Structure 1
Amino acid sequence: MTDEFDVVPPEAIRSGRATDAYFDRTVEALDHAGKNPDVVAEVTADQFPTGEWHLLAGLKDAATLLDGRDIAVDALPEGQLFDGGPVMRIEGPYREFCRLETALLGFLSHPTGVATRALEVRTAAPESTVLSFGSRHVHPSLGAMIERSALLGGLDGFSNVAAGDVLGREAGGTMPHALVICFGRGEQEAAWRAFDEAVPDSTPRIALTDTYSDEVDEALRAVDAIEDLDGVRLDTTGSRRGDFRYIAREVRWTLDAHGHEDVDIFLSGGLGPDQLRELRDVAEGFGVGSYVSNADPLDFSLDLVEVDGEPAAKRGKLTGKKSVYRTADGGHHVGLASHDGPADADSLMEPLVRDGEVVREFDLDAAIERAADDAELVGFDGD
């Protein structure tokens, strides 16, 4: 048995080997015919606005893929919201990037779906701490993409350690049920104390308080076991949860009644925007997993819209090179590049690759800020 994981290596992606076979056939046919037309290609999900906003992510990896190619590329900024129209435009000899289409769409489609879901969660609980717990639900090679996209959508942190290494940010987390179970029923205090004594001072003292007995009971016991307890986390399995809001309120009430108003409550386990809206007034923070990580990729396609300077698009696609604009009132407008845009509108297409070199910096903090500002401008509510 091979000791290698079933992962396509980076060099195969860069070289264009991570492609659909019919692109190999396309290059072979064009080469045989001596054709390599200059084209304009656009990456688009919806031709016209639909009223459904998405948050563009994955652009850093897409730029890495296109680096070194004899093409010119323009794209929306990372962290820009869009509703219809192209998010990227590629101009140059078609054979220069033909084989890259499969990987390019993957680099944009999946992260955009994840980032949009993260923004929905962020919008549902704007004042709460919300952490990404979902990388366990996807292939481990995608961990950094999941966590970067979650941060881009506004989540406050993430749990995947290796993703933190890639992103240059520290992963966070406290304890699983397995730690408590390792000490045995009735020995929860021993588990909590071991955690308190072993982990770095910088790690928040958050005790998981629903492993064996009532959440209220374990919360009070955890307060007694750890002198400077920062909070308790409830991750009660759905089959035993009942009314989760009532449970959280009861824990809050009881902690307050015993003088522990400074102990926060964190909730996790199968949560999404609807649950966060319902619970955000009874908890200080949340861990959100599969709702974000398991987002459906956005269905981007790459279409040729001009060939050798002439409009050329297949039936059902809008022909011709296009521009994309944002107006001061948050409007998203798409028009032919040969026509004037709306008055007092900003063009969203910005240079990404020129003369084969990436000409844009990728600052994650700036992209996070852009996403938050644009979400407010366009009135994104996640519904």
Structure 2
Amino acid sequence: MDVADLGLPVDVPSTALFTDQYELTMLQAALKAGTAERRSVFEVFTRRLPNGRRYGVVAGTGRVLDAVENFRFDPDVLGFLRERKIVDEQTLAWLADYRFSGDVWGYPEGEVYFPGSPIMRVEGSFAECVLLETVILSILNHDSAIAAAASRMSSAAGERPLIEMGARRTHELAAVAASRAAYVGGFASTSDLAAGFRYGIPTVGTSAHAFTLLHDRERDAFQAQVNSMGRGTTLLVDTYDVAEAVRTAVEVAGPELGAVRIDSGDLLLVAHRVRQQLDELGATGTRIIVTSDLDEYAIASLAAAPVDAYGVGTQLVTGSGHPTCSMVYKLVARAESAEAGAPLVPVAKKSTGGKTSIGGRKWAARRLDEYGAAEAEVIGTGAVPAGLADRQLLVELIKGGAVVAREPLDVVRDRHVAARANLPLSATQLSRGEPVIPTEYVNGRSGSRPGA
């Protein structure tokens, strides 16, 4: 996969500078101390879900794999570090040969997660693992937040398709990642051509109000669009008077008109009026698409409206009020020494203020109730209880530095649908509440949670 596939500017040859400076200064100090090569285990988790959310969605895993694979320090990057005197020459020499050679395990992309879920585990030397903290967190925090919002919106929409159209509301590179995450969360298409090009997501789009305003008459704009795109196109009908526009649209395109789009006003009321008008004009197959600052609550409020599809922008790409998942990347175990085969010992942050963590290399499994629905997220260290052995969640993503788990985006999307369907029905409620299933810790920590 080349740089363009990562959503990077073409003049950036690697992901190595998508990092915070202190990761490099830690590396330098560890190299001098002789501790850099100690085998270490880092885990990505969140202490809590965003306020009111019932579940999280793992998204961005595929982008993480690409980022790790392309994390290397080429001459230009090394020159920048040398010029700024960020690290010394010994560290620069070490970085010149950097290639991640460790192992990465994680929840498969599209899976759901809960507080404490070890959604990604990175193993290798301290030196090679610590450098990946920022790039992994930046991807997972952003993409998982967007996917969670998308999941809530797709649940509210039911069988009606959702169009992602938020590119103009965020950074141009974030927009591509947001389109991908939205597709994982259940959206059907995107208006962003870069996302379609890089990830194969279906793309859609016809015209904006500017196209209508360009022409002397609304009829002329509709006729030009139909002449260009055919009768199955979508005509935007709220530039002037909606009822007049709908009448004109059907006169121009005939009853074969594909769809009309409504972008303002009381969408519930207007949709009912437009549906009645279309039917009276014989355009019974013409669909109604609504846009205009929708979120999951607005979508749910339109459940009884004769709406066929929704277009969502700002609220989606900003995580519908929660643009990050507050995931952290913590060292949970490290070897007693840098000697090969030295045993791992658990380590954990014990500071006050709700930022404690639980040490040890963890496994995770989802326990089911008698009806086959998820009832608890079970996390532990050591041996996995026999009853949970076939319910483990982590899969191998990178082995010995080589990616072993790339998969098509449609597989990820289908996995999320299945994972969400396996949760209790209350998971789809939009009202605020606690996580839909509890997190339980075994090995003497049953019922406890990291942080508060």
Q: TM-score, normalised by structure 2?
A: 0.77
Question: Aligned pair in 2 of structure 1 residues 9, 20: CA closer, same or farther (>3 Å)?
Answer: farther
Partners of 1:172 and 1:216 in 2: how far apart? 25
Question: Aligned pair in 2 of structure 1 residues 254, 9: CA closer, same or farther (>3 Å)?
Answer: same
RMSD between superposed Cα atoms in Å: 2.1
Structure 1 SS opposite 2:144: helix
From 409, 413, 423, the equivalent of 1:368 is 413
Alignment match, 1:91: 123
Indicate conservation of the 8 Å contact 1:132/1:288, yes or no: yes
Question: Aligned pair in 2 of structure 1 residues 10, 43: CA closer, same or farther (>3 Å)?
Answer: farther
Q: CA deviation at 1:143?
A: 2.8
Alignment match, 2:312: 288
Alignment match, 1:323: 363
The number of residue pairs the alignment matches comes to 366
Partners of 2:259 and 2:48 in 1: how far apart? 48
Alignment match, 1:3: none
Alignment match, 1:260: 283
From 218, 235, 245, the equivalent of 2:245 is 218
Q: TM-score, normalised by structure 1?
A: 0.90
Partners of 2:53 and 2:250 in 1: how far apart? 48
Partners of 1:59 and 1:137 in 2: how far apart? 24
Structure 2 SS opposite 1:343: helix
Q: CA deviation at 1:97?
A: 2.4
Alignment match, 1:59: 61
The percentage of counterpart residues that share the same residue type is: 25
Structure 1, gaps ≥5 residues long: 1-5
Partners of 1:188 and 1:354 in 2: how far apart? 60
Q: CA deviation at 1:204?
A: 4.0
Code of the aligned partner of 2:329: L
Partners of 2:303 and 2:142 in 1: how far apart? 28
Indicate conservation of the 8 Å contact 2:183/2:201, yes or no: no
Partners of 1:73 and 1:136 in 2: how far apart? 34
Structure 1 SS opposite 2:428: coil
Which segments of structure 1 move beyond 4 Å, counting only runs of 4 or more? 6-10, 47-51
Query: Alpha-carbon deviations, 1:24-49, whole Å to 9, x = none?
Result: 11011111112222111100112799
The within-5 A match list for 1:176-255 is 176-184=208-216, 187-199=217-229, 204-213=232-241, 215-227=242-254, 228-236=256-264, 241=265, 243-255=266-278
Q: CA deviation at 1:174?
A: 1.4
Question: Aligned pair in 2 of structure 1 residues 217, 149: CA closer, same or farther (>3 Å)?
Answer: same
Alignment match, 1:38: 39
Query: Alpha-carbon deviations, 1:156-211, whole Å to 9, x = none?
Result: 11101121111124411111111101114xx1111111111113x5x941110010
Partners of 2:120 and 2:378 in 1: how far apart? 13
Partners of 2:18 and 2:150 in 1: how far apart? 28
Q: CA deviation at 1:250?
A: 1.2
Question: Aligned pair in 2 of structure 1 residues 48, 255: CA closer, same or farther (>3 Å)?
Answer: closer
Query: Alpha-carbon deviations, 1:220-256, whole Å to 9, x = none?
Result: 11111113211111002xxxx2x32111111111222
Structure 2 SS opposite 1:297: coil
Code of the aligned partner of 2:237: T
Partners of 1:235 and 1:285 in 2: how far apart? 12
Code of the aligned partner of 2:361: K
| 1:135 counterpart = 2:162 | no
Indicate conservation of the 8 Å contact 1:45/1:299, yes or no: yes
Indicate conservation of the 8 Å contact 1:124/1:273, yes or no: yes
Partners of 1:325 and 1:32 in 2: how far apart? 40
Indicate conservation of the 8 Å contact 1:73/1:353, yes or no: yes
Alignment match, 1:270: 293
Q: CA deviation at 1:12?
A: 4.1
From 302, 307, 323, the equivalent of 1:279 is 302
